[in-house]
Amino acid sequence: MDLRRTGRIFGWLFIGTFVTSIPARLLFIDGAGASWTNMRFVAADASSTSLKWGALLEFGLIVTQLGTALVLYPIARRQSETIALSYVTARTMESVFAAIGLVSMLSLVSVISAMNGASGIEAVALQAQGDSLAHTYEWAFEWGPGLVAGIGNGLLLGYLMYTSALVPPRLALLGLIGGSILILSFLMILAGVYKNGEGPSGLLTLPEAAWELSLGIYCAWKGFRSSSPLAERVRKSEALLPG
């Protein structure tokens, strides 16, 4: 197993999650006619085109998220089968929430189409349906990137990278810190202390975002460290294989 090559693939997939997730979020907000701090459906400002492009990018996010877990698992399980499997599960759950949001936003396309020419009670009902779909997306976003990502990409992945030393331990510590802060921010949002997208939530998201971006860049550039104890165990186990 070429750990450097595997690490580079892992890194590019992680960068892929940034390339897809941020534009998808912006397109969904624009498509619903909403704002960063108030996710709701505003028919007059809604855009089916933005929603469709956002859905395409969100699907790309799901693919890259699952890709990071599948690429890392064969290596990470040699460090801890339980933590490695937990990371795959967390990535899968995060992708499930992304899929819920994707379907909600695509359903909003049908609402926008039906709003054309609608009036009276029909228009009110469609507005309520649109708001419901927008709020469903927002809840999925808060539970996926807001909570599950903190657990999976922050705590679980940070722990795996710290104990395996596949990346510099000081870098991995950022994941443990960022994940903990992101989970705290989610609990604050759930308790109604502030809304997602407001000042405090953005600041508390930065450590986790810095960890994920720096991890992706480091691994895409250098791959996993061949000097790590885990890499040494992998080489020894492969040397014992026949042939």
Residue 227 CA to residue 191 CA, distance in Å, equals: 45
Q: Residue 12: is its pLDDT beyond 70?
A: yes
Does residue 240 form part of some domain?
Answer: no
The total of other beta-carbon atoms located within 10 Å of residue 37's CB is 14
* Cα 226 from chain centroid (whole Å): 28
Q: Please report the pLDDT score of residue 199 as a whole number.
A: 73
pLDDT tens column, 20-67: 999 999 999 999 999 887 888 998 888 999 999 999 999 999 999 999
Q: Which residues form the domain of 61?
A: 3-35+42-234
pLDDT in tens, 144-171: 998 999 999 999 999 999 999 999 999 9
Query: How many separate domains does the chain show?
Result: 1
Q: How far apart are CA 237 and CA 217, in angstroms?
A: 29
Q: How far apart are CA 118 and CA 56, in angstroms?
A: 28
SS3 35: strand
Would you say residue 13 lies in a domain? yes
pTM of the predicted model as reported, rounded to 2 decimal places: 0.91
Kindly report the CA angle at 207 between 169 and 224, in degrees rounded to 5?
35
Q: Is residue 241 part of a domain?
A: no
At position 46, the amino acid (one-letter code) is A
At 176-234, the pLDDT tens digits run 999 999 999 999 988 888 888 777 888 889 999 999 999 999 999 999 988 888 777 76
**Partners of 105 in beta bridges:** none
Asked if residue 242 belongs to a domain, the reply is: no
What confidence score (pLDDT) does residue 240 get?
53
85-138 pLDDT, tens digit each? 999 999 999 999 999 999 999 999 999 998 887 778 888 898 999 999 999 999
Residue 120, burial from CB neighbour count under 10 angstroms (0-12, 13-18, 19+)? exposed
114: in domain: yes
Using one digit for the tens of pLDDT, what is the confidence trace for 81-100? 999 999 999 999 999 999 99
